[in-house]
Each structure stands twice: as structure tokens, then as C-alpha cells.
Amino acid sequence: MSNDRITQLQLYDAFIRRKKLTFAISVVATIVIALFAVSAGSLDIPIPEVIKSLFGKGEPQSQIAVMGIRLPRVVAAIIVGATLAVSGAVMQCVLQNPLASASTIGVSQGAAFGAALGIIVFGGGVVNSDSAATAVSINNPYIVTICAFVCGSLSTGVVILLSQFKKDLGPGGLILAGVALSSLFTGCSTLLQYFADETKISAVVFWTFGNLGSAGWTELLILAVVLFASLAYFLLNRWNYNAMESGADTAKSLGVNTRAVILISMAICSLAAAVAVSFVGIISFVGLVAPHIMRRFVGNDYRYLIPCSAVAGALLLILADTFGRLIIAPVILPIGAITSFLGAPLFLYLLFRGFKSNG
């Protein structure tokens, strides 16, 4: 074997080791930040006490705080962040658009309309005024969740049907269809709120803020099943996504049924995102930001980009939620507002990078 060949293999091995190291570091960072998130709050619990509480050996007060309040919230951040990030990474691949995410094809807007429908029409929201500060809550969360999921999934169904009736509708056409549906759902939500009373409007606004504390262990189990099922499909198709990164024609020449991969992947991405959003409300930009961060470290190799994006999404959402809980404690800032601040810098980055590449 020639020296050049040996050098190339060594460089490739080093490149693969760097990707694996990135994944390992991300996992460790997520675990550390998750432990800190569980320990920090109005009641400071030392991390050793948190670990004891996880095994049922902590103080009664610590166990209530950890197992009943903080741990479900952190687990929700991990699962929802991973779901949105993985969905975003796959959407960006199959649609060949760096700005693709659940919001791009109208999933989030459809879910918001569904939640408004459940709250306003089916009476799922209420305002409690039993304290000095008026508290808004959802008194029938399952109605709201089901309506949000159905309407979020409806957006995907419409996009897929359009692609079936119009065979030459490419990835760009799917994006435009999603933008149109987003505008339609936003308009419908606005009309619903226009005719609703102040109590129901407050409940709708509260839901759209996003709330990781609204998911209990039953909901988390459902979210976990959806995440692992979608992850399994995406990882099984990782080589197809790698082929599609070189363009649809190249992928077809390699034997990839690009149309089937696009439609099935879009359906799974959208349904997974719809489930996540329907349980915790609108959480923007995680599905957009996390994959782009990891592309800086592992490139577009979907063998590593998919699991790394999942970990990055979980880490980002834990950090955002912890920041929202602690920055002006005991007030908890809405998680949707915190994650939205991540979007503007990335949009500007992609915009200017695009102009630079076209210049």
C-alpha cells in the first residue's frame, strides 16, 4: 500500500474520531447541564442529593422537587429538543433548504390553530384568579393536545397530497406550499381569537408561549416512543440522506427512490414535530439551529449528524429552559420566547453566507 493511501486512511480515521468525540462530548455536556437544571431553582438541591433522589434515597423534600417537578421538565426538554432537532436536520436534507424546519411547512402554525380551536371552541382553557397574579391554565389539556396534533398533521397531509397531484412539485414547491399553509393557519387563529373573550384569548396566548412543565410522565412516554421510532427510521435511511446531499440526480443514479424518501421522511418529521408541539406548545428555532451547529463539527454525514443533532437539540432546550427559570426567578420566562432569540442571528448568518456564495 502506497504512502499516499496510508495517509488518506489516517486522515479519514482522524476525521471519524473527531465526529465520535463531538458526539461523546455533547452527550456528557447534556448530562451535566441536565443535572444542574434539576438541582437549580428556588430550592437549591446539591447534585449528590439529586442523584440520591433519582434512586429514591434522598430527603423527602428533595424527592418531591426532583421527581415531581424538575425531572419531568428536564426530560421533556431532552425529548422535545431532540425530536425537533432531528426533524429539522432531515427536512433540511430532503427539501434541500437550509431554513427548513417544522415551522417552514406549517406544522407549528397548524398546531397553534388547533390549540386555539380546542381552547376557544371546545372550552379547553381557563383563567384562575385565586391569587394576586392572574394565572392562566389549560383545564382540558387532552382536548387541546388532540386538536393541536390533528391540525399540525393536517398541514403535512395537505403538502403530501399536493405533491401527489402535482408530480413535478419539487422540494422548493413543498416549501412554498408550507409557507402558504402557515399563513392560512395564522389567519384562522387570528380570526378565532378576534371573536373569543379575554379569558380564552389569554389561554391561547399562554399555550403558544410554550411550557415544558405541562407534560407528565404519561405524555413523556408517548413523546419518547415517537422520538425513538422516528430516529430508527432516519438512521436506517442515513445512506439515502447522504446520497441526496449530492443532489437528486446523483441519488437516483445510486438507486435511491428520492420521491419516496422525501415523502415518507417529510411525513415522519412532521408527525413527530406535531406530537412534540401539541404537548408543550410552540417552541421555535430549535429544529433550525441545532442541525446547523452540528454541521460545523461533523459535516453533512447523516450517520453522525442525526444523533448529534438530537443531542444538540436536547442541550439547547435544557439551556434555554434553565435560563428562563433562573434569570429572574421565581418568574419563569416562556421557553418559546427564549428559543426565538436564537433564530434571528442564524437567519442573518445564512442570509449573508448565501449572498457571499452567490457573489
Segments making up each domain of the chain, as ranges: 3-358
Q: Hey, what CATH topology would domain 3-358 get? A: ABC transporter involved in vitamin B12 uptake, BtuC (1.10.3470)
Rounded to two decimals, the pTM is 0.88
What is d(CA 151, CA 47) in angstroms, rounded to the nearest whole number? 41
Who's near 170: CB < 8 A, 6+ residues apart? Answer: none
Could you check whether the bond before residue 330 is cis, i.e. omega within 30 degrees of 0? yes
CA–CA distance, 230 with 102 (Å, rounded to integer): 15
Burial class (CB in 10 A: 0-12, 13-18, 19+), 96: middle
Taking only the tens of pLDDT, the chain with its 359 residues reads 566 666 767 777 777 888 889 999 999 999 999 999 999 877 788 888 888 888 878 788 888 888 888 899 999 999 999 999 999 999 888 888 787 888 777 888 888 898 888 888 887 665 454 433 344 455 566 788 888 888 888 887 887 777 767 766 666 677 778 888 888 998 999 998 888 888 888 888 888 888 888 778 888 999 999 999 999 999 999 999 999 888 777 888 888 888 888 888 988 988 898 888 888 888 888 888 899 889 888 888 899 999 999 999 999 999 999 988 888 877 888 888 888 877 677 767 766 765 444 44
Residues 120 and 192: beta-carbon distance below 8 Å: yes
Q: Which residues are paired to 135 by β-bridges?
A: 128
The H or E element that residue 135 is part of is: strand 135-138
H-run or E-run covering 127: strand 125-128
- Do the beta carbons of residue 84 and residue 102 sit within 8 Å? yes
Say if CB 303 and CB 23 are below 8 A apart.
no
